Structure 1
Amino acid sequence: MNNLAVISLGGSIIAPDKVDSTFLRQLNEALRIYLKEDKSRKIILVCGGGAPARVYQEAMRAIQEDIDSEELDWLGIRATHINGQLIKAMLSEFCTDNLITDPTGHINFRGQVLVAAGWKPGFSTDNDAVILAERFEGQLIINLSNIAKVYTDDPKKNPDAQPLDAISWADYRTMVGNQWTPGKSTPFDPIASKRAEKMHMKVVCADGRNIQNTMDILYGRPFFGTVIGEESV
């Protein structure tokens, strides 16, 4: 699908501790300009869980120590649905489909915007973004979170960790491993990474709070972030 942008919108920027309405208002204004300039432009927004997911998962762990990971996953998924419904309402003028909670189900995508959220246990919203990109022929996923770049290691734990402008899928997947667990924090989920590599996609990881930078990515201008993909190194 031409002019398609797939954006994995991290819950950490939708609701870092509570819903960041100032950020969302500014993002809404910028995306509306982008969409109205060219009616052929389409955006898929896949929403993460953020604070609501974390709060409920931590509460469940406090109530019951040996809680099943699938139950924790469902709590996180429901949080993404709340965030997704908010984003869908925000862009309702451009979004004619209901909130997508199954990326493999029936989807019309007649409007310019499609909003999706968590699907089922074992699959992060990053993975949902890859499935939707594959389905609608998108080759680039813009992964927006509160992290400006991918680092060689966790910069919070390792002061020698270095930011990367680009990294191959092989090197990235060596860093993050092959398993995903509910609440796991990596720039882009390991399971989604395996699928994206297979489909020869590129992923741009950037700080979504910098809306001008996000728009630079959408418009194909120079931007600040990390490109994951074979042709980027």
Structure 2
Amino acid sequence: MAIIVLSLGGSILLPEIDRPNIKPYISVLTRISAHHSLFVVVGGGGTARQYISLARSFDADDAFSDELGIMVTRLNATLLVGALGKAAYPGVVETHTEALCAAETGKIVIMGGITPGQTTDAVAAVLAERVQADLFINLTAVDGIYSADPRKDTSAKRYDIMTASELLGVVIGQQAVAGVNTVMDIVAVKMVERCGIPLLVMDGRDPTQLESAIKTGRYTGTLVSPDGKSPFPLQK
């Protein structure tokens, strides 16, 4: 049984509160958890950004805004726990140690944010190291890592495979350009570099693609591997 950590963006799970993408994930995550130990870290998405923007209009400081964002990630995570029902551990865990304990139940373990100033991608990367994951998957709205923002640059190249140090160079380069949203933050990438766990970055809007990647090893995305080797097929 492989150990898999998913970083599931809030904008993937809840593009809008009236356009949820939760239901398609229920059966997929449940089937994956039947064969693998599964952890899911849920982001805040657009809802968190809206709350933070409103808070800053009242001159709230960054620390307060971070706490507000964490609350939203945990609200999104709680919604996923409720949707998964008996397949999930019945509560949103708030520390990595608690996640380890919750995994002993054999249920899907769900987290949100835990640390001010740290994205849920970074939380998931630390969790992957803590649970000694076989695979870390970042589910985002882009089908991999690109040389530039593909939504703004049609000549951007998608990387099929790269090392964590190469990814770090791409992320740092993109963050130097104003207005560009990178797929992962620097802290998360540094954690991936440190722990050496394979990272797969792929489009999470269609969860059947996630299931296919785990079951067959076929995917569209970018594999970040310390040795250039694929982690597939995963041990059942």
Select which of 88, 102, 105 maps to 1:108.
102
Q: CA RMSD in A?
A: 2.2
Counterpart position of 1:214: 210
Which residue number corresponds to residue 183 of structure 2? 187
Contact 2:134 2:198 (8 Å CA) reproduced: yes
Unaligned ranges ≥5, structure 1: none
Listed as ranges, the matches of 1:1-233 within 5 Å are: 2-18=1-17, 20-21=19-20, 23-36=21-34, 38=35, 41-64=36-59, 67-105=60-98, 107-109=101-103, 110-177=105-172, 185-232=181-228
Gap runs ≥5 in structure 2: 230-236
**CA-CA distance at 1:172 after TM superposition:** 1.0
Mapped partners of 1:196, 1:220: distance in 2: 23
- 2:56 is paired with a residue whose SS is helix
Q: Distance in 2 between matches of 1:190 and 1:20?
A: 30
User: C-alpha offsets along residues 77-121 of structure 1, whole Å, 9 cap, x if unaligned?
Assistant: 111011000111122312235211222447332133100110011
Deviations 1:45-94 (A, max 9, x none): 10000121011111122232xx4222221121111011000111122312
Aligned-partner residue type, residue 169 of structure 1: A
- Say whether the 8 Å CA contact 2:81–2:89 is kept in structure 1: no
Q: Equivalents in 2 of 1:121, 1:15: separation in Å?
A: 22
Note the alpha carbon deviations across 1:187-217, whole angstroms, 9 max, x for none.
Answer: 1221011111111111111111122211112
Q: Is the 8 A contact 2:149 2:181 kept in 1?
A: no
Percent identity, aligned pairs only, is 27
TM (norm. structure 1) is: 0.86
* Residue 156 to residue 53, structure 1, CA distance change in 2 (3 Å): same
Between the aligned partners of 1:201 and 1:19, the Cα distance in structure 2 is: 36
Given that residues 4 and 43 in structure 1 are in contact (C-alpha distance below 8 angstroms), is that contact kept between their aligned partners in structure 2?
yes
